[in-house]
Amino acid sequence: MKNNLIEYNERTFEDIKHIDEYGNEYWLARELMLALNYKKWEKFNNVINNAKVACEKSNNIVDDHFPQVGKMVSIGSGAKRKQNDYKLSRYACYLIVQNADARKEIVALGQTYFAIQTRKMELTEKEYSKLSEDEKRFYQRDLTRKGNFSLNQTAKKAGVKNFDKFHNAGYKGLYNGETANDIAKRKGLRYREDILDNMGSEELADNLFRIVQTEQKLKRDNIDNENAANKTHYEVGKKIRETIKELGGTMPEDLETPTKSLKELENSKNKKLII
């Protein structure tokens, strides 16, 4: 059954993929709408608008991923009107399925497909295994930043108002009871210094897994109150911790803290460019 779902997933989204004259792949929003079992453009356009917001908040240029296109369609009696559409990048499709109705089976399949394929496309120029540790850290930090933004949107819809408490629930599960402040103190960080900027690539990957799995579980279980959302975040973090232990991995609190934060590395790069 699982293999059939994967084949259906790939065929569904690969079959509506287009290639432009420059060899760039893209999807048309109205075709994606039908593939995701949306009936009305107005409703799907709301999903697109939410995806645009996520794109902008992730410091990406919206028009690069959601350029508008249109075509003339017949409305009967020989009359025609312009029909608005979007020429979507793979990243735009990824954001759309993340904001679509997760109760639809095809949406869940699309989330898996575009998440995996987007990760692959992000690494086409240089394979992850060939990156230096600092390059891996920058890469994983960018993913956690985008993941946390998306998680916050889902948590808000689930009724979360106290986001510090919500995120600490996840940290407590993953770090054996430690809050974000506890982690910062253990790492010897200054007040309000970002703990994620002071993690190695493996620790960042542990947290990315926590973030992604929590968001999907909130959607999948239709969580609709703050206490349940906090409990879900804690349980996901704890389960990931148990999995690391079962695999013989290093607990996240035992992983080495890098000597330089990502902000320090970024500042060093900028100074070199100025010189």
Pairwise pLDDT comparison (2 vs 64), residue with the higher score:
64
pLDDT tens per residue, range 121-172: 665 545 677 788 998 899 889 889 888 998 999 999 999 999 999 999 999 9
What mean pLDDT value characterizes the chain? Answer: 86
Q: Is 84 helix (H, G, I), strand (E, B) or coil?
A: strand
Q: Is 27 helix (H, G, I), strand (E, B) or coil?
A: strand
Q: Give the pLDDT score at 103.
A: 83
How many separate domains does the chain show? 2
Mean pLDDT for 256-260 is 96
Both 255 and 142 in a single domain?
yes
Both 85 and 31 in a single domain?
yes
Q: 207-212, long-range: CB within 8 Å, 24+ apart, which pairs?
A: 207/144, 207/174, 207/252, 208/140, 208/143, 208/144, 208/147, 209/240, 210/170, 210/173, 210/174, 210/236, 210/237, 210/240, 211/144, 211/147, 211/148, 211/151, 211/170, 212/115, 212/147
Q: Give the pLDDT score at 129.
A: 75
Both 38 and 75 in a single domain?
yes
Is 86 inside a domain boundary? yes
Both 130 and 93 in a single domain?
no
Is 31 inside a domain boundary? yes
Both 106 and 142 in a single domain?
no
Is 211 inside a domain boundary? yes
pLDDT at 274 over 60: no
Both 258 and 139 in a single domain?
yes
Both 250 and 176 in a single domain?
yes
Mean pLDDT for 94-116 is 83
Both 50 and 91 in a single domain?
yes
Handedness of CA 4, 6, 9, 11 (dihedral sign): negative
Pairwise pLDDT comparison (111 vs 262), residue with the higher score:
262
pLDDT at 275 over 60: no
Both 49 and 133 in a single domain?
no
Please tell me the distance from the alpha carbon of residue 125 to that of residue 75, in angstroms, as a whole number.
Answer: 46
pLDDT tens per residue, range 183-212: 999 999 998 899 999 999 999 999 999 998
pTM metric for this prediction: 0.57
Domain that holds residue 237: 126-264
